């Protein structure tokens, strides 16, 4: 019937759209993974900076404290 013929004509277009969408999903998943890795790295750097800042402040306080 007409509907079946139309469906057969549209099937390749739908498959191409599906394929393009799947590729886009894979790209986005890859980007998301990269961003998550970057966030983890930044968190580690921030933690290290905070620890270094604490140590520096302790050293400054020790040198600025009046001698006993």
Average pLDDT over residues 35-53: 98
pLDDT at position 46: 98
pTM of the entire predicted model = 0.65
pLDDT at position 20: 95
pLDDT at position 23: 97
pLDDT digits (tens, 9 = 90+) for 4-42: 887 788 788 888 899 999 999 999 999 999 999 999 999
For residues 64 and 67, what is the distance between their CA atoms, to the nearest angstrom? 9
Residue 68 has pLDDT above 70, yes or no: no
For residues 17 and 22, what is the distance between their CA atoms, to the nearest angstrom? 9
């Amino acid at each position: 019937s007409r509907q079946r013929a139309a469906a057969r004509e549209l099937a390749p277009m739908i498959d191409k759209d599906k394929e393009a969408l799947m590729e886009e999903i894979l790209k986005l998943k890859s980007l998301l993974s990269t961003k998550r890795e970057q966030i983890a790295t930044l968190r580690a750097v921030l933690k290290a900076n905070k620890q270094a800042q604490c140590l520096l402040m302790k050293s400054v306080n020790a040198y600025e404290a009046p001698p006993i």
